[in-house]
Structures are given as C-alpha cells and as structure tokens.
Amino acid sequence: SQQGEEDPQALSIQEGENATMNCSYKTSINNLQWYRQNSGRGLVHLILIRSNEREKHSGRLRVTLDTSKKSSSLLITASRAADTASYFCATDAGGNEKLTFGTGTRLTIIP
Amino acid sequence: DTEVTQTPKHLVMGMTNKKSLKCEQHMGHRAMYWYKQKAKKPPELMFVYSYEKLSINESVPSRFSPECPNSSLLNLHLHALQPEDSALYLCASSLSYNYEQFFGPGTRLTVL
C-alpha cells in the first residue's frame, strides 16, 4: 500500500511562477525524499530530508518537513519548461530497507 | 561513474517466453532494488538486495526471479509472464539504506 498521498495530483503553471506540491504520510519516518520522473523514464533524486530537519534547500528547490503533521512540501521557484515532470515523495516508513513512494504530482510548465 | 544502466530498453515477450532484464552499477553501492511501475502510478518495490543477498521480496509471484551475481550486477529473470505484468521495470542502487537511490532508465516490458 502507498505510504504517501500527494497533492495536487496535477498542476499547471506559467513559466517563471513557483510550484508547490505537498506530501502527507501515515507513520513515523527516518527520512523523506523527493524524486522527479520525466515521462516514462527513470527517477532522479532531488533532495533527502531527515526527520530531525525542518527545511532544506538545493538550488531552486526548497523542501519542508513537519513531522507533527506528517507532511512535507516541495517548492520549485522560478519554474522552467524543463521542470515539467512527475514528482514523487518517498519515505522509509515501511522499514529501513524500503522506500515507499507517494502517488505523485504531475507538473506542467507552460512556456 | 554515477550511472545505473539497464538492458534492454524495450522488451516484447510472449507468455511462454523466458527472458532476463539486466542492471549494472559501478558506484560501489551495496543495496540494489527492482521496482515495477504501471502507467501514471508510482514505482512499487519488488525486491531488495543488500550485500548481494536478497533481503526483501515484496510477495512477488515466482514467475519473477531475481539474481545478484556480484556487487555490480542485478538480474531479473522472467518466465511465463501474464499480460498484466506489462510495465516499466526500474532498477536502482544506493550506498546503503536511508541514502538516495540512483535509478536506471528502465526496461519497458510488454507481454503479449
């Protein structure tokens, strides 16, 4: 069963705008990761945030983690057409050896 | 080399065929994974190998048989598959658990 639910399921924004997507999970975690997948291809790791961290930045990406609410958000600033992809959160809540992916958000950047 | 390679890119097979998917990494990662992904769905874990030993089998049907010949290679042997097994099969590796996973480009499998 899926650990994470992502919101929204799909998001379309104009190039240059910021995109925010949210992930909620059900049980306690050690870390939460975000991945990007371009259409029908392999996943690319974006960022990992540990349970004792509240915020992390990487380039135009900002991830927050609220363990009390069991939720995380991914913010992409100044979006570009190349950011068009599906974005998945993933947690290790199923056990250290397992990564369980959320339902994903399909992001479309309109040039 | 920070790449995970998978072959073949595409595979079409009949329900009576036997085929194998291959995955390779040269990053010194000790954990390797097989995932199955259906269209518009998230990847679902199938198997985890840790230090070349199978550590997780997510109740995958026996028509899928994983093999880890050495620390760089991971195979998935396929036999008597069903049309519903058609999917994108992704291989990944990581330094260990709780580290980022590096994914290959996947094998698009079609079972006729």
Q: What is the pLDDT of residues A48-65, one digit of tens each?
A: 999 999 999 999 999 999
Which residues of chain A make contact with B97, given a CB cutoff of 8 A?
92, 96-97
CB contact under 8 A, B4 and A42: yes
How far is it, in rounded angstroms, from Cα B71 to Cα B51? 7
Mutation target for A interface from B98, B99, B108, B109: give the one with most A CBs within 10 A: B98
Which residues of chain A make contact with B29, given a CB cutoff of 8 A?
none
Q: Residue A39, SS3?
A: coil
Residue A93's pLDDT is what?
A: 72
Maximum alpha-carbon separation in chain A: 41
Q: What is the pLDDT along chain B (112 residues), one digit of tens a residue?
A: 679 999 999 999 999 999 999 999 999 999 999 999 999 999 999 999 999 999 999 999 999 999 999 999 999 999 999 999 999 999 999 998 878 999 999 999 999 9
At A75, give phi and psi (nearest 5°).
Answer: -110, 125
Contact between residue B108 and residue A40 where contact means Cβ atoms under 8 Å apart? yes
How far is it, in rounded angstroms, from Cα A2 to Cα A19? 23
Contact between residue A100 and residue A35 where contact means Cβ atoms under 8 Å apart? no
Instruction: Please choose, from the candidates B1, B16, B5, the residue with its C-alpha nearest in 3D space to the C-alpha of residue B74.
Output: B5
Pairing label, strands A10-14, A105-110: parallel
Contacts of A51 (CB under 8 A, 6+ apart): A28, A29, A30, A31, A32, A65, A67
Return the top range by mean pLDDT from A17-21, A26-30, A94-98: A17-21
Q: End-to-end distance of chain A based on CA atoms, in angstroms?
A: 36
How far is it, in rounded angstroms, from Cα A22 to Cα B76? 34
Minimum Cα–Cα distance from B46: chain A residue: A98
Query: pLDDT at residue A102 above 90?
Result: yes
Chain A nearest C-alpha distance from B73 (Å): 18
More confident residue, A93 or B23: B23
Chain A nearest C-alpha distance from B45 (Å): 7
Query: pLDDT at residue A1 above 60?
Result: no
At A60, give phi and psi (nearest 5°).
Answer: -85, 5
Chain A nearest C-alpha distance from B34 (Å): 11
CB contact under 8 A, A42 and B48: no
Residue B85's pLDDT is what?
A: 97
Pairing label, strands A61-66, B4-7: unpaired
